[in-house]
Amino acid sequence: MIRVALFTLLGLLAVARAQFGAAEDLVKPSLLADTAAVEAGKPFTVLLRMEMKSGWHVYWQFGGDSGAPPRVTWELPAGFSAGPIQWPLPTAHKDEGDLLTYIYEGEVLLPIEITPRAKLDAREVALKAKLTWLVCEQTCVPGRGEVALTLPVGTAAPANSELFASARSRLPKADPPPFRTAWEVKPEVFTVKVSGLAKDTRVEFYPLPPNPDAKPKRAQVSGDTITVPIESGGAADTAWSGLLIAQIGEGPRTGWMISKMEGTAPSVPGGSDGALPSTSIAPPRFGLFGALWAALLGGLILNLMPCVLPVIALKIFSFVSQAGEHPERVLRLGLAFVAGVFVFFLGIAALAIGLRAAGQGFFWGMQFADPRLMLALVALVVLFALSMFGVFEITLGGAENTLGSLSRKEGYGGAFVHGLFTTLLGTSCTAPFVGPVLGFAVTQPPAAIIAIFTAMAAGMSLPYFLLTWKPAWMRFLPKPGAWMERFKQLMGFVLLAVAVWLLGVFGKTRGADAAAAAGWLLLFLALAGWIFGAGARRWWAIVLAVLTLGVGGWLFLPGALHKSASTAAEAKPNAVGIVWEKFSPERVEQARKAGQPVFIDFTAEWCINCKVNEGAVLNTTTTAAAFREKNVLTLKADWTAFDPVITEALKKFERIGVPLYVLYRPGEEAPVIFPELLTTNLVLGELAKIGR
């Protein structure tokens, strides 16, 4: 009997294999990279590609009523790490028995970020992974397989660009959604009310359970309300989350991950997704008119920020120069300056709208992450400084205007460029009200974005407009005289200080060799400016200046743009004994589970406000003693190079810029969010509440 049963079973398996095929025949996995070579310390993305036989499907990260997602186990070289699977938008599928599942058919592209170690000695690296999956049609067949990829070590270069562009276009959007959600959670059901979508928008919702015991049923969408019954594992305080997909007419399906707990990212069943621990932060509920007032006030306060003060000193100098001129001309010069401020802010608004339309995120100060723009900004500052020393003259407003001569009047073009320049440096930091307003603005329709940035421009330019509108108020400024020549030269040193600061930031992000090359390039730039000035702008001086600058660029520009390989530095106590560890969401979660307080400093080397707060408040003996007394884990989220992990963390707090300071206290779900400008009493007061 046993022999008969065994042959019968083997016969059935043979029939099944002939009818359905082995799971390995139904799914063809492969591995591709977005780079032609692996560069030490530089993350890259690989694509796990799964091609399925027609009619068969695999599952999303949550399968729905049945099904299990693909799993991957990596075999990487020592020191390499792999991020979580990034899941594309699924589709809903009805199975027999009225089961609803969330699936991928035909082909699925699963991006995964790989981070190599800081130093690579081998000529090539091998990436291997073991896969398991469940592939289904009318029946389901479990499968397993292996994928491998070998890449040379060298300078990273794009590869498989079209395929990766296609894969990224299928992912949920990383920028804040253009709608608001209100959650109501009960043990047996949760509802999500969505506001801000167009009336003809078709909405799909794919729930994500917060833990394996929580089992949601299919979502029901009625108008602007999503209702999800809960079969088991529900509670009033459960942090439900999910994927909301919106589609207008026959347009593309666009998705966003949303969560009940504001400021958090949804978790993935069976693994970490790199999200911050759950919080109950409620973002500022401005409303459009409230946001406009906050933007106006924030722009006004931006004039007092350390990042803007060096340039404002130059504007005060120009005001002094204008004293005694005809009031109408003073007003026109003021309006030209204000126009520069408005044009820059409106340009930022257009950039934010364009990036959002392209599915990309906009961030305040993003120009400081591009080495080419950073070098151009340093060069511009150096040129302005040299003109203040009288090395050469920059004509900005017609033949009557030069920055190098006090005897001539400032032109309208000069005032306009001055407004642009002031605002450009102002984007290195956020002021009170500016951070929350920017986070709100980028989630709004284009018209609202333009209105909010216009209000911010009005706030920033208001003092200058009032001063030029009432030239009589300039009597409170010193009268023009011989002292102005020395004051102008002093302002040149102020600008050189700004250039040194920017060059230091450049060096910390690109490496010492790149900073040295940039320094030599600036020397050739200064020499070209001197030749231009000494030759009184004759044709031969212009040609010689261009040749000098060209030689400098040929010799040193490639080195300045080359990023040196970075090595991970061990966290050590600073001068006052604070150990600033590198930020990671996993480290935050680990400390919170252990009941340890956590303080996070979201900062950047190009953010002067951040440096002022750190020097005057955070890195002081008083604050250090308070951190030690309360056993606070101190983490530094360095956003200088726009680290994507930190970018995602900022988004969860609805911020698109730094500084940002966050304190998690044990036993409290909602963290403390500090203002952009810190005081010692404020920080000590919040630390003192730990353990109460």
Distance in angstroms (rounded) separating the CA atoms of residues 130 and 198: 44
User: Across all residues in the chain, what is the average pLDDT?
Assistant: 78
What average pLDDT does the segment 418-434 reach? 64
Q: Residue 250: CB partners within 8 Å, gap ≥ 6?
A: none
Token code pair at residue 675: 């203002």
pLDDT digits (tens, 9 = 90+) for 491-538: 778 778 878 877 887 887 777 888 888 889 889 988 888 888 888 778
| Per-residue three-class SS string for 133-184 | EEEECCCEEEEEEEEEEEEEECCCCECCHHHHHHHHHCCCCCCCCCCEEEEE
If asked whether residues 158 and 191 sit together in one domain, one would say no
In a domain, 244, yes or no: yes
Where helices occur in 535-579 by DSSP H, the ranges are: 539-561
60 in Cβ contact with 206 (< 8 Å): yes
- Res 161 pLDDT > 50: yes
What average pLDDT does the segment 540-565 reach? 83
- pLDDT range class, residue 285, cuts 50, 70, 90: very low
Token code pair at residue 582: 């590198």
- Could you tell me the CATH number of the domain that includes residue 37? 2.60.40.1250
**3-state secondary structure (DSSP) of residue 255:** strand
**3-state secondary structure (DSSP) of residue 194:** strand
- Res 396 pLDDT > 60: no
| β-strand partners of 58 | 104
- Res 451 pLDDT > 70: yes
If asked whether residues 497 and 540 sit together in one domain, one would say no
* More confidently predicted of 352 and 162: 162
- Res 630 pLDDT > 70: yes
If asked whether residues 463 and 535 sit together in one domain, one would say no
If asked whether residues 326 and 238 sit together in one domain, one would say no
CB neighbours of residue 156 within 10 Å: 18
Q: Cα dihedral angle (322, 323, 328, 332), rounded to 10 degrees?
A: 30
pLDDT digits (tens, 9 = 90+) for 105-151: 999 999 999 999 888 888 999 999 999 888 888 778 888 899 999 99
Query: What one-character-per-residue DSSP string does 663-680 give?
Result: EEPTT-SSPEE--SS--H
For residue 76, CA distances in Å to 37, 49, 319, 351, 538 come to: 16, 18, 62, 39, 62
In a domain, 270, yes or no: no
pLDDT digits (tens, 9 = 90+) for 460-485: 888 878 777 776 665 555 565 566 66
Q: Cα dihedral angle (379, 384, 386, 392), rounded to 10 degrees?
A: 110
- Could you tell me the CATH number of the domain that includes residue 229? 2.60.40
In a domain, 48, yes or no: yes
In a domain, 490, yes or no: yes
pLDDT, residue 566, reads 54
Query: What one-character-per-residue DSSP string does 108-137 give?
Result: EEEEEEEE--S---SSEEEEEEEEEEEEES
In a domain, 122, yes or no: yes
What average pLDDT does the segment 375-404 reach? 64
If asked whether residues 456 and 595 sit together in one domain, one would say no
pLDDT digits (tens, 9 = 90+) for 243-278: 999 988 777 899 999 887 543 333 333 333 334 443
Distance in angstroms (rounded) separating the CA atoms of residues 246 and 253: 6
Distance in angstroms (rounded) separating the CA atoms of residues 412 and 329: 9
656 in Cβ contact with 427 (< 8 Å): no
If asked whether residues 341 and 488 sit together in one domain, one would say yes
CB neighbours of residue 646 within 10 Å: 24
If asked whether residues 525 and 673 sit together in one domain, one would say no
190 in Cβ contact with 197 (< 8 Å): no
In a domain, 572, yes or no: no
Query: pTM to 2 decimals?
Result: 0.47
Distance in angstroms (rounded) separating the CA atoms of residues 330 and 459: 20
- Could you tell me the CATH number of the domain that includes residue 652? 3.40.30.10
612 in Cβ contact with 557 (< 8 Å): no
Is the N-terminal amide bond of 207 cis, ω within 30° of 0? no
pLDDT, residue 271, reads 36
Q: What percent of the chain is predicted at pLDDT more than 90?
A: 22
Q: How many domains does the chain have?
A: 5
In a domain, 519, yes or no: yes
| Top mean-pLDDT range of 420-424, 440-444, 583-587 | 583-587
If asked whether residues 554 and 635 sit together in one domain, one would say no
Q: Which domain holds residue 252?
A: 180-259
For residue 475, CA distances in Å to 450, 461, 480, 487 come to: 36, 20, 11, 18
In a domain, 17, yes or no: no
If asked whether residues 619 and 682 sit together in one domain, one would say yes
Where helices occur in 389-511 by DSSP H, the ranges are: 412-426, 434-441, 446-469, 483-510
Q: Residue 13: CB partners within 8 Å, gap ≥ 6?
A: none
pLDDT, residue 211, reads 75
If asked whether residues 162 and 248 sit together in one domain, one would say no
